[in-house]
Amino acid sequence: MSLHGRLAGGLAALETRHRLRRLLPAAGLDFASNDYLGLATSDLMREAACAALARGVPVGAGGSRLLRGNHSEHEALEAQAARFFGTEAALYMGGGFQANQALFSTLPAPGDLIVHDALIHASAHEGMRLGRAEMTSFAHNDVASARQAIAAWRTKGGRGQVWIAVETVYSMEGDRAPLADLDALALETEAVLIVDEAHATGVFGRQGRGLAHDLRAEVLSLHTCGKALGGSGALICGPKVMIDTLINRARPFIFATAPAPLNASLVQAALTALERNPDLQAGAQSRIQAAHKAAHRHLQIEGLASQIIPVIVGHDTPTMELARAVQAAGFDVRGIRPPTIPRGTARLRISITGHVMPEQIDTLFGTVAALQRGTA
């Protein structure tokens, strides 16, 4: 079979299983993006971009930061981020996937163990695959399972550093990690906590600093800038020695063109807005509470913890049919299928963004309920 034939056959197989991905235009009310504060299209960010361009901030870096790509805007953002998130240092990278690749493939060494939540993001898996440490998963949000994994490794002779990797808000489940118990486990086992704050930054914690801001264990945190912060890139925040090690040894940092200095200036504007305007975070929290009430009233969904609300359907085909029907009703909601999520848990992923009003949130959940009943 020719190469083109083999690739076409693979796509056809995905189509048959209703798993073929397509790029769709944005249409309808935004219940799909991660723009939780509505900053991405805001006047605040447009004005920040115009001001940065007016003072001569470049739109491109032109090279790696270790060559000529380093700019004062990168350094100003990193200093601001370290202050904002309460760490010794920060490193700005092109995106969250790249940042997770960098830290997981660089910092854990041969002889170390990474213990990660079973539902941690694909980018963490990619970084661990590229790294040289041992790795094992623990049952989702199950601290006892994590403790057992560490104890089993020690019993078998493991003597290196332990790294415990979690997301503080899970991107598909919308639930939160049991951070207090994980913090205690990290202290007990002298582990480093790697916390991906991608979906907590800007939404949770004091002034949007995330959920891991006040932990006692040694923490390395990741804050993506393309979600609630409305820009692009990602910030790795933690001890200076770890950040300096990434600068010197992380291939996704060393061999990548630096993020645009303009983007760094926009992230600075977003962090400043969080510090100065508490209404940004308060508005997000109000929308989240309205969504939780609507999800319970219309769909009897309980135990929600964040702005991400999964509506579990189960199988791929009915999930995508429901998603298309919701989209036709004017709501941009996307269906999520394996392998992004475990088999048999295909779902609508409803995201409460900064672009919707409480009455629109209620209408969405009422529409989903009616479509599931076949009464819409």
Could you tell me if 45 and 266 are in contact, meaning their C-beta atoms sit under 8 angstroms apart? yes
Higher confidence at residue 375 or residue 324?
324
**Any idea where the domains of the chain sit in the sequence?**
25-39+278-373, 57-276
Neighbours of 6 (CB within 10 A): 9
Structure confidence at residue 71 (pLDDT)? 98
Of 204, 225, 211, the C-alpha closest to 352 is 204
How far is CA 120 from each of CA 141, 239, 264, 274, 298, rounded to the nearest angstrom? Answer: 10, 23, 27, 27, 30
pLDDT tens sequence across 294-313? 999 999 999 999 999 999 99
pLDDT tens sequence across 123-148? 999 999 999 999 999 999 999 999 99
**Structure pTM?**
0.95
Query: Domain 25-39+278-373: which topology?
Result: Aspartate Aminotransferase, domain 1 (3.90.1150)
* Secondary structure of 171-183 in HEC code, one letter for each residue: CCCCCECCHHHHH
User: Residue 72, CB half-sphere, CA atoms under 13 Å: how many?
Assistant: 4
Distance CA(53)–CA(256), nearest Å, equals 23
Q: Strand 134-138 relative to strand 113-117: parallel, antiparallel, unpaired?
A: parallel
pLDDT over 70 at 368, yes or no? yes
Average pLDDT of span 264-288: 98
pLDDT over 90 at 16, yes or no? no
Rounded to the nearest 10 degrees, the angle between the axes of helix 278-299 and helix 261-276 is 80
Segment among 96-100, 147-151, 372-376 with least mean pLDDT: 372-376
pLDDT over 80 at 375, yes or no? no
**Amino acid making up residue 116:** H
What is the helix (H) or strand (E) element at residue 89, kind and residue range? strand 89-93
Structure confidence at residue 376 (pLDDT)? 61
Structure confidence at residue 354 (pLDDT)? 97
Q: Which residues does 86 contact at the CB level (< 8 Å), separation at least 6?
A: 209, 213
* C-alpha 352: how far from chain center: 15
What is the helix (H) or strand (E) element at residue 53, kind and residue range? helix 43-54
pLDDT-derived band at 219 (thresholds 50, 70, 90) equals: very high
Of 143, 148, 83, the C-alpha closest to 117 is 143
E strands present in 122-191: 134-138, 162-167
3-state secondary structure of 212: coil
What is the helix (H) or strand (E) element at residue 205, kind and residue range? none
pLDDT over 90 at 102, yes or no? yes
Structure confidence at residue 228 (pLDDT)? 98
Distance CA(120)–CA(140), nearest Å, equals 9
Asked, colleague to colleague, whether 25-39+278-373 and 57-276 share their fold, the answer is no
The CATH class given to the 57-276 domain equals: alpha beta
> Using the 8-state DSSP alphabet, how is residue 304 labeled?
-
What is the helix (H) or strand (E) element at residue 315, kind and residue range? none
